[in-house]
Amino acid sequence: MNVKNDLTKKIGSRLKELRKELKLTLKQLSEITELSTPLLSKIENGLVAPSIQTLQKISDTLKVDPSYFFKKEESREYVVSYQGTRKVLYPRRASKGKIVYEVELLAGEFDNPFMEPFIATLIGTDGDVDTITHGGQEFLYVLEGKVELTLGMNKFKLKKGDSAYFNGSIPHKGIRLGKKLAKTLNIHVIFGNRSGSFQAAK
């Protein structure tokens, strides 16, 4: 991770947001700060890091503390998720590009979650899907159809209303049984980080 580039982009993004809140054009901002329009444009787009003097001049003109451009954005305290608006991912595909899972994130916009709920539609059959492992633990509840759940060397046939809870370190996979697609409600418990989660893959 390039910290300098990230900081430059953050400063530019905060400046652009503030300018738009104040309903100023770049030209107007240039006039009141006595800084050139091309320079301000480069700063806003994260192409140039402003000097301390330049940032102080901008801050004084716009009546904000220079720390405004560095402070961390407020984390989301809650997420309300509406059907039809959620992000859908296709995280695992067979060797020929066939889709084997569809994942609908139920709280995809929450910052730094400790668990990750999603609805998985199981499309693939036994020959299409490989076992996987990941950090944390996982809960699975069958919503529709029939599922064969592999946990290590064991296989379990689950129907609507059945559930399982397991460590993500166990090689596992879920496949549909029969022609009908199966749906499961899954929850990844991540334990303080998002390693191996769909959040990290976004």
Q: CA 73 → CA 10, 13, 70, 198, distances in Å? A: 10, 11, 9, 22
What tokens were used for 95? 């060797």
Distances (CA, A) of 19 to 11, 121, 132: 12, 44, 47
User: 88-201 sits in which CATH class?
Assistant: mainly beta
Answer yes or no: same fold for 3-69 and 88-201: no
pTM above 0.95, yes or no: no
Q: Which fold has domain 3-69?
A: 434 Repressor (Amino-terminal Domain) (1.10.260)
* Banded model confidence at residue 184, pLDDT cuts 50, 70, 90: very high
What's the rounded Cα separation, in Å, for the pair 146 and 184? Answer: 10
What span, in angstroms and rounded, lies between the C-alpha atoms of 182 and 169? Answer: 24
**What does the alpha-carbon distance between residue 138 and residue 124 come to, in Å, rounded to a whole number?**
20
pLDDT digits (tens, 9 = 90+) for 36-46: 999 999 999 99
Work out whether strand 115-122 and strand 182-189 pair parallel, antiparallel, or are unpaired.
antiparallel
At residue 3 the predicted structure's pLDDT band, cuts being 50, 70 and 90, is low
What local confidence, expressed as pLDDT, does residue 2 receive? Answer: 57
Report domain extents, the chain: 3-69, 88-201
Tens-digit pLDDT profile for residues 165-176: 999 999 999 999
The strands making up 137-144's β-sheet, listed across from edge to edge, are: 88-89, 101-105, 115-122, 182-189, 137-144, 163-167
